[in-house]
Amino acid sequence: MLTGEPVGERHPNAGTPPHLVVFTGSGISVESGIKTFRASDGLWEEHPVEQVATPEGFRADPERVLAFYNQRRAQIRRAQPNAAHKALATLEQDGFNVSIITQNIDDLHERAGSRYVLHLHGEILKARSSVDASLRYPVAGDMTLGDLCDKGSQLRPDVVWFGESVPLFEQACELASQADFFLVVGTSLAVMPAASLLSYIGVDAPCALIDPDADALTPPGVLAINTTAGEGVPALVERWRRQRSLALD
């Protein structure tokens, strides 16, 4: 969900330029030591993804899935926001209008100080009912079999699994359409439906991608910035703070 404001409402200053919308993926969190899914071999921390990140995997062995996410949750709690997370929060604190759309299920943006974060794929520090997605609960420790929602059904991690719809995608598209500058950090833009976000950006809104492989990943019309999130984001933010604008020239 979008932390910091009610779901479905606009960013309070979305109509006042400059409005920076940042779309982040696993490349920003990996620099904080968070391991990611490897699409090349279908493994996530040595687990076949269909066993731990699909509805079918949860139905087949919920205990294994809960244990996997308990490990992930512990890893995320040990991790700390890196220079990229902190730079985006600093830009917001310096008076810029910043909204973040993230594919990541961690809370590193929030811990860095960002207030407007849309978690496209859910949040690992929350649980939801396995029968009613509107019933959500904070997770203080490990999740186990027998943790039930108010309707008596097993709780599951509040994340979007492979094969599930992305409930907040329309809200992400709305945010993208409000951008005066759209910055992509640490994602290949290859996974649908997130890859289609670029089609919602206004024709006059610049777009840039920060990634070590940006040249290979960047579609036409997008500026490639070939560096890591930890180096590229702080450098760009410092430039914008000096200029008091989101210009690149």
CA 50 to chain centre: 21
Rounded distance between C-alpha atoms, residue 120 and residue 189, angstroms: 14
State the alpha helices, DSSP H only, in the chain: 26-29, 49-52, 55-60, 62-78, 83-93, 108-112, 169-177, 214-217, 229-243
- DSSP assignment of 205-237 equals --EEEE-TTHHHHPPTT-EEE-S-HHHHHHHHH
The catalytically annotated residue of 11, 19, 85, 121 is 121
Stretch (H or E) spanning 128: strand 122-129
Residue 121 annotated as catalytic: yes
Do the beta carbons of residue 102 and residue 92 sit within 8 Å?
Answer: no
Give the active site residues.
Answer: 121
